Amino acid sequence: MKEITEEKYNYHLEVLPPCVMGTEFVVCFLKEFDHNTELVETIEKKNAKALFVTGEGWDKFQVYGMIGKKYYNLGETMTEWETEDFRYPDSGNDMASKIMAKVPKKCEV
């Protein structure tokens, strides 16, 4: 885990579309698909928020978030992933749909 500037956080958020965005979705992805229990424990212990995962091509992805009012590169995925699987539903491995199916459903009123 490495503290970064707000500018660097925003740069990584804005330059490439995040592969996974939102605390609930990032934690689900890391738990269910990447099996990165160490990073999930850090996120939960530190109460990290505003999480997103980004990467390009076939590689390990970087996980960014906020703890309090500070910005962090929290670490990287355990597995190498293909960004097309997150950005294009017709890639043959639609990760966005898989993550959505695993996130606990909220009660709707």
Rounded distance, CA 73 to CA 88, Å?
25
pTM over 0.85: yes
Largest Cα–Cα distance of the chain, in whole Å? 41
pLDDT tens string 5-48: 999 999 999 988 899 999 999 999 999 999 999 999 999 999 99
Q: Stretch 80-85: mean pLDDT, rounded?
A: 95
Annotated domain spans of the chain: 2-102
- Please, what sign has the CA dihedral across residues 21, 23, 25, 30? positive
